[in-house]
Amino acid sequence: MTRTASLLRITSVGTSETTSPTAGDLVLIHGWGVNRRAWNSVLPNLADHFRVHLVDLPGYEPATEHDAHASTAPSFADTADALAAAVPDGCIVCGWSLGALLALQAAALMPSRIAKLVLVGGTPRFTQDTDWPAAQPETVLKAFQDALGGDPDGVRQRFVALFNQGDSRARSIARDLNRLLAESPTPEPRFLLAGLDWLRDTDLRPLVRSVQQPVLLVHGERDPLMPPSAARWLHDTLPQAKLEVFPDAAHAPFLHDPERFGRSVRNFCHA
């Protein structure tokens, strides 16, 4: 097992007698700053229909004391490679935000293992470029990087406030996420910094056309972090893509309307 693989933690749920024996495997990957608990509110809509596997990215839930004190965080490419090797054969992979980037990369790496993708608040590139305006200026990430060393929990709370701007349920979503953050271990700053580096440097536009799996794109109409135009670009560029936009939602549409999200994923995966 590689060090990156040992830093990934995957927790399985939905394997009780209530789950259909023919249910497929659904892998959920969280975004930057939060861990697998971000999916808590949608689990009741998924766990009776899928064998759900919740991923904690490196540093969010260290597997061992040795891994917790690892001197360096893994690269984006190594993490996507470890993820693609760790998921069950024939699974559906659902990634949110940074998790959507990893899901795209993993699907391109091992198409035989990943049957379908669900990309929530997804984009092929987080930072702006001269030919990519549908993104954030690099200064946004720089501000978070500069503040992380002194107050990682405060930075994560500000990030939650940022990506919920414009959502009609912003206050309740932020309150629930901040409670989850308070109840969870704080990731080591080096892992949080590495994730911001991934967001700054990753550009998956060149490989998007090679992703042949069916893809469901779930995006908030008011997403202030990943503009809806990024989702439309993915919809137009991916060979097999369906776009579902949640009105009045920002960057966390699955938290804005968990029931609709669960229904959309079930319908897409069982089609």
Catalytic site residues?
Answer: 97, 223, 251
> Counting every residue, how long is the chain?
271
Sequential DSSP letters for 96-133? ETHHHHHHHHHHHH-TTTEEEEEEES--SBSB-BTTB-
Radius of gyration of the chain (CA): 17
Q: Under a CB-based contact definition with an 8 Å cutoff, are residues 193 and 148 in contact? A: yes
C-alpha to C-alpha distance for 113 and 84, rounded to whole angstroms: 7
C-alpha to C-alpha distance for 179 and 192, rounded to whole angstroms: 19
C-alpha to C-alpha distance for 101 and 108, rounded to whole angstroms: 11
Q: Residue 90: how many CB atoms within 10 A of its CB?
A: 12
For residue 99, which of 127, 66, 123 has the smallest C-alpha distance? 123
How far, rounded to the nearest angstrom, does the alpha carbon of residue 221 sit from its chain's CA centroid?
A: 18
C-alpha to C-alpha distance for 113 and 86, rounded to whole angstroms: 10
User: Which tokens belong to 87?
Assistant: 């998921």
